[in-house]
Amino acid sequence: MESYFNAGNSDEELERLYPGSMDGTNACEPKSTRRYLTRRGLLRSNIVAFAYRTFDRRWIYWEPETNLLGRKSPELFPQVFNGNLFLEARQKESGLAYTRGMVVSILADNFGNGFSNFFPKLIHRQSDELVFRAEPRELVANLTARAESYLRSIGLDPEDLEQASLLFFGSSVFKCKTRRKGASSPRRSGGSDRSSSR
């Protein structure tokens, strides 16, 4: 990333050093994007751990202002902080068996083919700032008031919801039901691309 942000390196030199780095995407015009970013500078705190696949942790530069990163999920990034967990789910499984329900504590990708949604356990009540690994403040369980009330009425602490979800996803009853329904995952949240279910 330092080479990319170094204005002393020409676009041609960067392409020679890192083939494909100046190809661009459908959302990003590489030369004008790089010109803007070299003027603004590298945001070192936005070089973050990234779960590319299961047991394959990599590093990614999360760019908030341009389309350097194709799908940057701005509503998710502030929810990634020490101590928070994310439950992966899909509306449809690509195989016959439901194998999803991974739990991660860092930004994550789709873990192979298909499209994963990641639901944070805790969310900042209101968070417009794009700060990675912010100190937890004004945190609430990622539940509607109705869901939280229901959990309390049956004697469960909303903070324990993720453990209950994991038990449910791992249960033979759940796996049997999803196998019969063509391996669709439950529609528990109505969430979209890596966003909160609130």
Q: What is the pLDDT along the chain (198 residues), one digit of tens a residue?
A: 999 999 999 999 999 999 988 887 666 889 999 999 999 999 998 898 888 887 888 898 888 888 887 777 777 788 888 888 888 877 776 666 666 677 888 888 776 666 788 888 888 865 444 444 445 467 888 888 888 888 888 888 877 766 656 555 555 544 555 554 544 444 333 333 443 333
Residue 128 counted as domain residue: yes
Residue 158 counted as domain residue: yes
Question: How many separate domains does the chain show?
Answer: 1
Residue 42 counted as domain residue: no
Q: What is the pTM of this model?
A: 0.65
- For 110, the domain range is 73-198
Residue 34 counted as domain residue: no
Residue 40 counted as domain residue: no
Its sign, for the CA torsion 120, 123, 126, 129, is negative
In the chain, alpha helices (H): 2-5, 11-17, 30-40, 145-153, 161-170, 172-180
Tokens for 58, please give them: 């990599």
Query: Is 127 strand, coil or helix?
Result: coil
Residue 98 counted as domain residue: yes
Residue 3 counted as domain residue: no
